[in-house]
Structure 1
């Protein structure tokens, strides 16, 4: 009960630096992000390239200085279909100079199927990014989908969630606000 009160107090005050401290992972789990697992010894994420549909190459290091919610998904993944609209809404609400959602379609995902997936699920705010040979996913130890990795401003993995989540929930947004204030 006390954790809930603290979490919602942080939300009330916008979880700004004056009220924020380290991320309260347990409060997030208690409030609904039960599959969220903090990393005890945060370390740098993989530097393996991924691409976009135009053949451009990207690295997670391109986002250094931002808090990143990295999501591995696929067009054939039913839980991904449920989760992606919340990631799109999160990017719309909180994305910007300090935070971004990086969705990466890993494995075989034909461009026309990705376009259809985005259209059917109403995705408008997320870029199309690709890991067709699953090199980044394998490099980060992803064995199932969806998988979400939270990355701090220094490029370190700080938490991981296996399976889908509602990223528009108050506990999810509170975690992100706490990471932003850190």
Structure 2
């Protein structure tokens, strides 16, 4: 009886490990996220401070414990305008305790202009976060916009996408669900 219980426990642990297997990066690329570059070795993201609309300070560590899709953008960026509604849809669909879309306006972006941008593009579920001196963007080697970084629960960069993408596509949703885990 004890031997059966131990065997059953080992099988359950093995099944849970299998459920938390690597996401299918190749399927995500084939499904439209063709510019997705996966980190060979996940490395910690920057600890540089940025602010919210009220001036309160934040760091990426505030989202530890969640899978984060971090997006650097600007109000003047045409591709950002194209992808922002998809990021908003992704947050509306999957955002919560296990996953968050974190958008950071980098460079000179007045809060009023961000509010106008969000209203014009129909964005209702994304935060207003600011990196006015581009310190976080520089520390994370962001050289153009938009740039999106996937971060694991421990605060490590998993992958990066340069350019705009359809973040609410089936391929993207599937990838995010794989990263979040079996309950997504």
TM-score by length of structure 2 reads 0.87
Number of residue-to-residue matches in the alignment: 167
Aligned partners of 1:38 and 1:158 also within 8 Å: yes
CA deviation digits over 1:103-142, x for unaligned, max 9?
A: 0000011222111101100110011000000000000000
CA deviation string 1:41-74 (max 9, x = no partner)? 1100000011011110101001111000000000
Aligned to 2:101: 101
Larger radius of gyration: 2
- Give the whole-Å Cα distance in 2 for the aligned partners of 1:158 and 1:101: 15
Q: Please state if 1:87 is matched with 2:67.
A: no
Indicate the SS of the match to 1:42.
strand
Q: Which residue of 2 aligns with 1:62?
A: 62
Secondary structure class of the residue paired with 2:34: coil
Residue 128 (structure 1) aligns with: 128
The aligned residue for residue 115 of structure 1 is 115
Q: Mark the CA change 1:117 to 1:17 in structure 2 (over 3 Å): closer, same or farther.
A: farther
- Segments ≥4 residues shifted beyond 3 Å: 16-20
Gaps of 5+ in 1: 1-15
Contact 1:45–1:140 (CA under 8 A) maintained in structure 2: yes
Q: What is the Cα deviation at residue 34 of structure 1?
A: 0.3
Equivalent residue of 1:171, what SS? Answer: helix
Paired with 1:17 and 1:126, the residues of 2 have a C-alpha distance of 32
3-state SS, counterpart of residue 40 of structure 2? strand
Identify the residue that residue 150 of structure 2 maps to in structure 1. Answer: 150
Normalising to structure 1: TM-score of the pair? 0.88
Moved more, 107-116 or 36-45: 107-116
Unaligned runs of 5+ in 2: 1-15
